[in-house]
Amino acid sequence: MSLVRQIKVNQLGYPVDADKIAVLTAKCSEFEVVNQKTKKIVYRGELSEPIEDQASNEVVYHADFSNVSDSGHYYIQADGVRSATFLISDNPYFEARQGILKAFYFFRCGMELTEEYAGEWAHKACHLAESIVFDNQECKLDGTGGWHDAGDYGKYTVPGAKAVADLLLAYELRPNAFNQAIPIPETDGVIPDILHECRYELDWLLKMQELETGAVYHKLTTLEFPGLDVMPEDDLDPQYLTPVSATATGTFAATMAMAARIYKPFDQEFAAVCLERAEKAWQWLLMNPDVPGFKNPVEITTGEYGDEDDRDERFWAAAELYRTTGNENYHQALIELADEDFSKTEFGWADMGGYGTTAYLLNGKALSNHDVYQKLMSELIHEAEKLLNNCSKDGYLISLENEDYVWGSNMGVMNKAMTLLLAHHFTGNVAYKNCALDHVHYLFGRNALDISYVTGFGDRPVMEPHHRPSVGDQVDAPVPGLVSGGPNAGLQDEYAAAHLQGKAPAKCFVDHEDSYATNEVTVYWNSPALFVLAHF
């Protein structure tokens, strides 16, 4: 990879009416904004006072060029160094938004990805055999379809549900962001492609439910991960449906209740099935109030997604079921859970309380318990204010603290931007939205490593993600539109440990296929990024 430039910008660009700031690691007297086409200097400005950025262990300077508002391609230069060329326009992230959504098609399991839709990343259908129920290995079930979770070929209920929820929420709040076809095989000009894509995962999730009990299998994987260069159609080891879990059942109930509401205008029969299954899952949760967290059976070494606390998933399920049905029983369950001591503002795969809070607040004051509504709104705004304060102290203007540079830190970046955008939605405070946009700038290059963490976008994007199809397909470029995990100070793989010792937290990233702890990809890192980009 080329040397890190001393002027960091969003390599895609900036909206015309937005604040526009570059981050410099070189002390210069002034900076200039240059029109790429005409080579004319369109703006000169002075740098900010020096800022000590703890996460990168750098002294940085801000170059504010918000006054440049004419559409076009530009770069910034200062004392002999220059930035990437970037676009200023009304819609600079349209292609990235489309690409990040299209990536879910590339994650599909169980169908051929044809050249018509997948281009050079086409491959044959995969994982078509029946799956073995781990607890009853004489029993085999259809587990085909859905999305591969990450750089491997496992399919996991909880993170899959988070990904679907992010997409459905993005569509619910910003439907006009999804008017254009991606396209995918189901594109019909009637149902938005984002709903077609979610349907592919929802149909698989329905297969993960035990129809007799309502409980939901935690995951569907092989006993161990396949080799890194194995294409999906060549991964022929048996796949196992692992035991059910309360977290899987809770997230299933919540996501199906969302789907019942959102798909009803397009497919009433499917919506009815989703609601029936959601309520069946809820009944299992009621009958099983104390379920231990999921643990991998000793024979299985694929991702565990363990979580000892299922209160947040139950809270989310109650909120979505109440919002969809208006049934007071769900409301009472939510009111009781809202008093429990767990985070109500997180949007991760383990801590999911933010989804329940969002569903309840979107339902409106009139249908809410006044005290619970005020409590949840207060917690959301308190979290947004904390993030806003963090951004004001960070050299790269994002809300991560040093301890947030963990496995999948870019999910944290986008989840925090989600929080800010939801706070903006409920309050109208534009400061929250502006701060969320700063997180977009980070993702696409305004960061300590001058890298776009999304494959195929920006002039210096991730090129070697830990993603089996991208490694094994003999195509030089990786599958586009994949959000990389990002800096992880834990150095939890051998490659990272060998190459990143002593680095500052924000620099603990390496663009190499062997670094699964910094450079893997997942559907649930793509999904919050899509939610965020739908707002800009």
H, E, C per residue of 139-165 = EEECCCCCECCCCCCCEEHHHHHHHHH
C-alpha torsion 443→10→467→300, nearest 10 = 0
* 3-state helix, strand and coil shares in percent for the chain, rounded to the nearest 5: 40, 15, 45
Element containing residue 232 per DSSP (H, E): none
DSSP state of 454: B
Residue 2: what pLDDT?
A: 64
Active-site hit among 196, 424, 466, 512: 466
Judged against a pLDDT cut of 80, whether residue 1 lies above it is answered with no
pLDDT above 90 covers a percentage of the chain that reads 99
Residue 3 — very low, low, confident or very high, per pLDDT cuts 50/70/90? confident
Q: Which two tokens stand for residue 214?
A: 């309502």
Is the distance from CB of 302 to CB of 224 less than 8 angstroms? yes
Does residue 424 have an active-site annotation?
no
Q: What is the CA radius of gyration of the chain?
A: 23
Is the distance from CB of 417 to CB of 397 less than 8 angstroms? no
Average pLDDT of 141-166?
Answer: 98
Cis peptide bond N-terminal to 192, omega within 30: no
Does residue 58 have an active-site annotation?
no
Rounded to two decimals, what is the model's pTM?
A: 0.98
Residue 132: what pLDDT?
A: 98
Residue 339 — very low, low, confident or very high, per pLDDT cuts 50/70/90? very high
Sheet arrangement for strand 136-141 = 136-141, 131-133, 240-241, 219-221, 155-156
Please, what sign has the CA dihedral across residues 479, 485, 488, 492?
negative
Residues 6+ apart with CB under 8 A from 4: 448, 449, 450
Is the distance from CB of 152 to CB of 225 less than 8 angstroms? yes
Residues 6+ apart with CB under 8 A from 403: none
Cross-strand bridge partners of residue 15: 89
What is the number of other CB atoms lying within 10 angstroms of the CB of residue 2? 7
Phi first, then psi: give them for residue 52, nearest 5 degrees.
-85, 115
Average pLDDT of 382-398?
Answer: 98
Cα–Cα distance, 52 to 188 (Å, whole number): 52
Does residue 73 have an active-site annotation?
no
Is the distance from CB of 476 to CB of 463 less than 8 angstroms? no
Average pLDDT of 378-385?
Answer: 99
Judged against a pLDDT cut of 60, whether residue 405 lies above it is answered with yes
Residues 6+ apart with CB under 8 A from 246: 285, 288, 291, 293, 310, 313, 314
Is the distance from CB of 500 to CB of 417 less than 8 angstroms? no
Residues 6+ apart with CB under 8 A from 276: none
Cα–Cα distance, 13 to 35 (Å, whole number): 13
Active-site hit among 450, 511, 513, 535: 511
Q: Dump pLDDT digits (tens) for 224-271.
A: 999 999 999 999 999 999 999 999 999 999 999 999 999 999 999 999
Residue 366: what pLDDT?
A: 93
Residue 29: what pLDDT?
A: 86
Q: Which two tokens stand for residue 271?
A: 């919506």
Is the distance from CB of 88 to CB of 72 less than 8 angstroms? yes
Active-site hit among 166, 439, 520, 535: 520
Where do the domains of the chain lie, and which CATH numbers do they carry?
Answer: 94-340 (1.50.10.10)
Q: Dump pLDDT digits (tens) for 67-120.
A: 999 999 999 999 999 999 999 999 999 999 999 999 999 999 999 999 999 999
Average pLDDT of 435-446?
Answer: 99
End-to-end, the C-alpha distance of the chain in Å comes to 30
